[in-house]
């Protein structure tokens, strides 16, 4: 604030949630952060549409390839899609329900409005492989604080959670897949934009965030 005593700015330093993952997954899970280009450099209101376009054009094809590969091996894909905001959650749920590009991807969903019986059904179908993809909203996890989600083999963060504990906890759901995997890769993928600097800093740490948001050709960053 500007007053007679001047002003002060607090700039905390974060080690990053990726440094504090559960022991069961630490060092065993590849974490890929992909930056997509924002349409505007001054207006963050374009971000939701840019993110959706990037997901449907760049991320969805990789999910479909993973589904096709596991179908040939009789393995459940186990793709968990974590969506922090409810608006994005509804948009993706409608997309998976109606878009022809998702015709071969069976999915379930869990939101903060899901009844207990619907949650149990979605978890069961995901674990047994009846559903290839499971959408989970951020507020569902906030209110219910799931300690595990059986069947999870790959986690995709549609956006970065503001609470870094969510990142640590959701990545922790991969612990069983890490223990059981043969040659199968257990991985995390996060998509982010220039407008998520603060959330990104809390997850990857202050030392790493600078180069990850710097404009340039490099837009994929991997950690393990």
Question: Per-residue pLDDT tens for 50-63?
Answer: 999 999 999 999 99
Multiple choice CATH, 17-37+46-223, 3.40.50.300, 3.40.50.10470, 3.40.1280.10, 3.40.50.720: 3.40.50.300
* 139-195 pLDDT tens trace: 999 999 999 999 999 999 999 999 999 999 999 999 988 887 655 678 999 999 999
Q: Please classify residue 75 by burial: count the beta carbons closer than 10 Å to its beta carbon, then call 0-12 exposed, 13-18 middle and 19+ buried.
A: middle
- Assess contact for 34 and 190: CB atoms under 8 A: yes
Nearest-angstrom CA–CA distance, 159 and 31: 14
Element housing 119 (H / E): helix 116-128
Instruction: Note the pTM of the prediction, 2 decimals.
Output: 0.91
3-class DSSP state for residue 205?
A: coil
134, 110 Cβ separation under 8 angstroms: yes
**Chain segment 1-12, per-residue pLDDT in tens:** 567 777 778 888
What is the chain's length?
A: 224
């Amino acid at each position: 604030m500007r007053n007679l005593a001047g002003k002060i700015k607090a700039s905390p330093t974060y080690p990053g949630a990726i440094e504090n993952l559960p022991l069961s997954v630490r060092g065993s899970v590849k974490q890929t952060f992909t930056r997509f280009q924002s349409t505007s450099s001054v207006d963050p209101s374009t971000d939701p549409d840019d993110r959706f376009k990037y997901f449907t054009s760049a991320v969805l094809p990789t999910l479909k390839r993973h589904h096709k590969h596991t179908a040939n091996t009789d393995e459940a894909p186990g793709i968990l899609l974590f969506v922090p905001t409810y608006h994005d959650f509804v948009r993706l749920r409608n997309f998976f329900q109606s878009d022809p590009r998702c015709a071969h991807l069976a999915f379930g969903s869990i939101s903060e409005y899901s009844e207990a019986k619907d949650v149990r059904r979605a978890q069961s179908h995901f674990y047994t492989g009846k559903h290839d993809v499971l959408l989970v909203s951020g507020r569902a996890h906030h209110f219910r604080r799931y300690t595990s989600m059986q069947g999870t083999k790959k986690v995709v963060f549609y956006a970065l959670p503001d609470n870094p504990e969510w990142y640590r906890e959701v990545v922790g759901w991969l612990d069983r897949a890490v223990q059981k995997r043969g040659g199968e890769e257990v991985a995390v993928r996060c998509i982010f934009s220039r407008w998520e600097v603060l959330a990104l800093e809390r997850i990857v740490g202050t030392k790493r965030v600078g180069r990850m948001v710097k404009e340039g050709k490099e837009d994929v960053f991997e950690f393990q």
